[in-house]
Structure 1
Amino acid sequence: MTDSDQPKRIGRIDRRKFIAGVGAGVATGLAGCLDSFNAPSNNSDNGSSGGNNSGGGSEGLLTFAQVKSPVEFDPVVLNDVPSDQVASLVFDPLYQFDKGGTNLVPRVAAKKPEVEKGGKRYIVELNTDATFQNGDPVTPEDVKYTFTAPVKEETENAGDFSSIKTVKTVDDSTVQFDLKYPFGAFDSYLAADIVPKSVRENDKKKFNTKQPIGAGPFKFAGWKEGNFVRVERWDDYWGDQKPNLSEIKFVPVEEGTTRVTTLKSGENDIIEEIPPKSWNTVKSISGASINSVPGVGYFYLAFNCNKGPTADPKVREAVDYTFSMDQAVSNFVEPTGIRQYSPLPEALASEWDMPVKKWKEIPHDKNIDKAKSMLDDSDNVPDNWNANIIVPPDDKREQLGTTVASGLKEAGYNASVQRLDWGAFLDKYVSGDPNDYNMYTLGWSGSPDPDSFMYFLFSQKEEGVGNGTFYRNDTVEKAITDARRSTDQNKRRKLYEKAITTLLEDRAHLPAYNLKNSFGVKSYVKDFTAHPVSSFSMVSGYNNVSVEK
């Protein structure tokens, strides 16, 4: 699910939630990060499995083909998956997700947080060995700065930390988070990459694009935007797991079949995001295989519920009758992705014991006669209606929009599909103006907590930011808010079940699919692991990539 464009709206959208590129875009875990996932961390065809050696013994160079070029590297502000994929190697987070993406484990932190005041206070003790690459220790002040800078600077990651009231340094190794309210998903927001306050404050521009300094296992070694990024092993890395690889070179290869060709030729050792039509091609490459795992994402068709014909739920239901989502996903997404029937990825919904079987019964099969009858009978649909469907620059989402348009034309109504560049799309899809759109296709990458999907996609507070539906239902809004402000998982489950069922029945969204984090991997690359939250893992407590040519 390596969605590498992943831009986000100015405001409160986290890059790890907003899916905006060619794939599904789960980057290293910050907000809500996939802790409730049961999916295996390695659906590898080559048998690559996690190891646990001390590392540091291989001089291997690994070349990795990304879908897009990184553009910046400061975790406080960076805005795209390719950049984050690199930054996640240079910086270490306070906590990270384990192999299966189900639990948080300490990284810069020394142990799990102590939770007090009914979930309103989190106390985190730091690992006193944690050190930045310039030799400075990682201090509570650095952690405080990391969590407060986005809000102070009004960066696009500010929403991740909006529940925080204050952050205090208790002593030389302890930091205390006090929240505005008990927030059931806050622990997953602790998976933030820690930055050195003094270095970043000295020159933010240099820190972002020329000399990022973190506490991670690799040091930034240089880059040329649109051409390459290099990171080198930090031989003095403070962690237990020293990298095997001496260097990783990331190169952008935007066109999918070209990426596959570079894997076959050996020009690249790993390629990300295998196109659906190239899946079998990669499987058949001698000396290579596919390493994949379902990510924590959600792709969908959304309606403008603010104004225009689609503000009428009966019109939205009629559109549902114009095509078969099952068939569309089969045609355009599989085997790169899987059908999804709610805003929650299937593994997350299963972990929370959600009524997925009931939700699967809500969408309609294709019935053009029924669609035509409902549209013809609606006073809100003009006879000359030309439905406007906008899509981002991604083939799968464009094909979904085209499928809907074809069904509407079969029902006797015109429809047009506008494929927009990301800038234009992001401006339009949150305007609420029916002249801009009646429907749009998009996606979202979240964490292993329902909050990361429900709040940012459906809360009325996020209208014009990440919520372009303008769907307004006070009961749904209250359920989302109440679930967010509770630490009782059973209570939260019931609230989310109620909200999701109503949203599906009212068809604010038509859920479509989830993508896999998929990679083509040469057989001489050992121990590489696709990850449901972090896209992939190079060096961790359960794996350490090496190149053995």
Structure 2
Amino acid sequence: MTDTNGRDVPDRVTRRRLLAGAGAAGAAGLAGCFGGDGGGTPTDGADTGAGGTDTASPTPTPGGRLSFAQTKSPLDLDPMQANDVPSLQVVERLFDSLYTYSEGTALVPQLAAGEPEVSKDATRYVVELRDDVTFQNGTPITAEDVKYSFLAPGREETSNGSEFTMVDSITEVDDRAVQFDLKYPFGPFRHKLAWSPVPKEHRENNKKAFNKNPVGSGPFTLESFTEGQSVELSTWEDYHGKQPVLDGVTFAPVEEPTTRVTTLRNGEHDIVQTIPPKLYSAVQNQEGASVEEREGLGYYYLSFNCNEGPTADPKVREAIDYAVSMDEAVKNYVEPAGKRLTAPMPDSVTEPWGFPTDEWEQIPHDKDLDEAQRLLDEAGVPTDYSWKIIVPPDDKREQIGISVGNSLQELGYTNVSVTRLDWGAFLDKYATGKESDYNMYTLGWVDEVDPDGYLYYLFHESEEGSTNGCYYENDEVMTQLEQARRTADHAERKRLYTDAVTSILEDRAHLPVYNLKNSFGVKDYVEGFRPHTVAKVNPRVAGQETVSLNK
């Protein structure tokens, strides 16, 4: 879920993919392809197009401390626990992963020595570690650490515990190689390998302390962290990768968007995250600053209660589609910070897969109140029915809910409520499937560059009440979603997903609405910063995009 401030996960949800609050939620195993044999898709991970400008400097200015304004304070610095974007943005500087993101969403080895070896019909993956990598306490990163780090979230029932349920066993081949055996050929498994090992022995000594004072393997070490205040990082001089040019990075939480933009203007921060639609021009017109942006991985939507009440009838859901113009709502309340979506996945997923988006764009209806009224009358919805729309604490999604409510009032329904709830109350209500709690809700989702991460968790019946609050019923779609995740054959997965999405859109379990850009206000003296599609990667300050300050 997200807001005018951005996107982020609430205090805790079942899966970190829910987009909430104020800092792009983004997280779960985002990736592209490695190439080679086995699972994955030939086009997964293709560059989805650069946003912003390439400001990389051939001779970066050494030294200096970058100040980055986040939309919220991090909560956790332990990769086993962290599942909100503010936390993950810091974790990404402290910890390297087996694989990380290059340009666009393609995976490249980081701690791994090369591509995974895939065999046994894509149910076995063997990853070999580089022999020169250590944690920041000087201990080597071993296969035992990797095995521990993939098992710990599930064993400890953390918020990331469901990330690896497809794994049957993990074996230490030797000190430098790890073997993953899957329960079935899981199409998106390569995405799961973008995971950060932690030092088993050190973490086991005191997990609580590790969460606030971790020992990582990345380009920066932790100087200090107090929740709600700044996080201070310093360059790790013995880093095994490309050394950062900066001396350090400060992450500072500034939740109010206008205040955040003001701190950019007065030079308090060098980069500020997430520019709301109404403040785009203010940043663009700032002397010595600009907006840098790139399309993100979010999917924002209007969902229906398909379990109880009038919206359990497909005719009523189609009537709502006729009643409201989502094109107009996105134009008024989301642009230029985002764009209209007509599929239940962002373009960064649909385009590399070559899905028939032109056909899917024809499914949503133009506004037609007469046709909406005809379908509502046909469905027998009385004019005194009390409609309940719930929305999270986010201006953009609230405006989408209000647009729907206004359209129902245009049709003569006077009992229409659009209720803005705090995250705790919202998450409690949207998952119940009860007519007394809601008929419709607005929400958001972010996941991997793979359809499974969107379609399975948002529409499959096994996720009802967890990540899926619509209780959608369609046996054929359920079978298609299940089959698609249990094969590594790209052509077959594409066919299954194409059929499933077409049915989902025609049944109108959701009305797709928009995607948001990963947007930043950046001072002109910041050299080499390029926004990334994957929210948690921002700001990448070492490695391929080396950020420097030329004040």
TM over 0.5: yes
Equivalent positions of 1:48-63 (< 5 A) are 48-49=55-56, 58-63=62-67
8 Å CA contact 2:305–2:469 kept in 1: the answer is: yes
Seq. identity, %: 51
Q: Counterpart of 2:538 in 1: which secondary structure?
A: strand
In the alignment, the residues of structure 1 paired with residue 31 and residue 47 of structure 2 have an alpha-carbon distance, to the nearest angstrom, of 15
- TM-score, length-scaled by structure 2: 0.94
Match of 2:220 in 1: 218
Give yes or no for the alignment of 1:38 onto 2:38: no
Q: How does 1:228-307 map to 2 (within 5 A)?
A: 228-239=230-241, 241-307=242-308
Counterparts of 1:5 and 1:197, CA distance in 2: 28
Q: Does the alignment pair 1:160 with 2:159?
A: no
Q: Which stretch of structure 1 is more off in the superposition, 408-417 or 539-548?
A: 539-548
Quickly say closer, same or farther: Cα 1:281–1:180, change in 2 above 3 A.
same
How far residue 4 of structure 1 moved from its aligned partner, in angstroms, is 4.3
Amino acid at match of 1:220: L
User: What is residue 497 of structure 1 aligned with on the other side?
Assistant: 498
Q: CA deviation at 1:244?
A: 1.0
TM-superposed deviation, 1:350 = 1.6
Paired with 1:95 and 1:24, the residues of 2 have a C-alpha distance of 21
Residue number in structure 1 paired with 2:363: 362
Using the alignment, how far apart are the partners of 2:276 and 2:506 within structure 1? 32
CA distance in 1, matches of 2:542, 2:57: 9
Q: Identify the match of residue 115 of structure 1 among 94, 97, 118.
A: 118
8 Å CA contact 2:24, 2:85 repeated in 1: no
For 1:442 and 1:33, the matched residues in 2 are separated by 25
Tell me, in whole angstroms, the C-alpha distance in 2 between the residues paired with 1:223 and 1:172: 33
Corresponding position of 2:72: 68
- Residues 458-513 of structure 1: CA deviation (Å, up to 9, x unaligned): 11111111001100111000100100001110100010000000000000000011
Residues 62-461 of structure 1: pairs in structure 2 closer than 5 A: 62-101=66-105, 103-209=106-212, 211-239=213-241, 241-379=242-380, 381-413=381-413, 414-461=415-462
Aligned equivalents of 1:499, 1:22: Cα separation in 2: 32
Do the aligned residues in 2 keep the contact of 1:39 with 1:293 (CA within 8 Å)? Answer: no
Instruction: Specify the alignment match of 1:5 in structure 2.
Output: 8
Query: 1:228, 1:250 within 8 Å by CA — same for their partners in 2?
Result: yes
Displacement of 1:79 after TM fit? 2.9
Residues 83 and 460 of structure 1: is their aligned pair in 2 closer, same or farther, counting only changes over 3 Å? Answer: same
Displacement of 1:10 in angstroms is 4.7
Judge which range, 216-225 or 490-499, deviates more. Answer: 216-225
For residues 38-74 of structure 1, give each alpha carbon's deviation from its aligned partner in whole angstroms, at most 9, with x where no partner exists: 3224423xx41376x7x8x722111111111111111
Deviation at 1:128?
Answer: 1.2
* Distance in 2 of aligned mates of 1:408 and 1:254: 34
Q: Distance in 2 between matches of 1:547 and 1:107?
A: 25
Per-residue deviation, residues 301-325 of structure 1 (Å, max 9, x unmatched): 0111011111011001111111111
State the one-letter code of the partner of 1:49.
A
Unpaired runs of 5+ residues, structure 2, are 34-43
CA distance in 2, matches of 1:251, 1:519: 14
Report the alpha carbon displacement of residue 23 of structure 1 after superposing the two structures with TM. 5.6
How many residues are aligned here? 536
CA contact (8 A) 1:9 1:466 kept: no
Q: Secondary structure at the match of 1:363?
A: coil
Q: Is the 8 A contact 1:37 1:347 kept in 2?
A: no
Provide the C-alpha distance between the structure 1 equivalents of 2:93 and 2:263, rounded to a whole number of angstroms.
23
Distance 2:310 2:137 in 1: 59
> Using a 3 Å threshold, how does the CA distance of structure 1 residues 405 and 501 change in structure 2: closer, same or farther?
same
Contact 2:297–2:447, Cα closer than 8 Å, also in 1:
yes
CA contact (8 A) 2:392 2:420 kept: yes
CA distance in 1, matches of 2:6, 2:46: 19
Partner SS for 2:100 = strand
How far apart are the structure 2 equivalents of 1:517 and 1:113?
30
Q: Deviations over 1:123-152 (max 9, x none)?
A: 000011111111111110111011111111
C-alpha distance in 1, partners of 2:22/2:392? 9
Contact 1:282–1:520 under 8 Å retained in 2: yes
The 1:22/1:407 distance shift into structure 2, 3 A limit, reads farther
- Contact 2:8 2:24 (C-alpha < 8 Å) held by counterparts: no
Task: Provide the secondary structure at the position in 1 that maps to 2:169.
Answer: strand
Which residue is 1:509 aligned to? 510
Which residue identity is paired with 1:391?
Answer: V
The superposition leaves residues 406-454 of structure 1 with CA deviations (integer Å, 9 ceiling, x where unpaired) of 0011111132111111111111111111111111111111111111111
Identify if the C-alpha distance between structure 1 residues 96 and 535 changes in structure 2 by more than 3 Å, giving closer, same or farther.
closer
Q: Which letter maps to 2:236?
A: W
Secondary structure of residue in 2 paired with 1:293: strand
Whole-angstrom CA distance in 2 between matches of 1:221 and 1:123: 35
Q: 1:433 to 1:50 in 2, by over 3 A?
A: farther
What amino acid is the match of 1:189? K
Q: Distance in 1 between matches of 2:418 and 2:47?
A: 37
Measured in 1, the distance between the counterparts of 2:45 and 2:455 equals 15
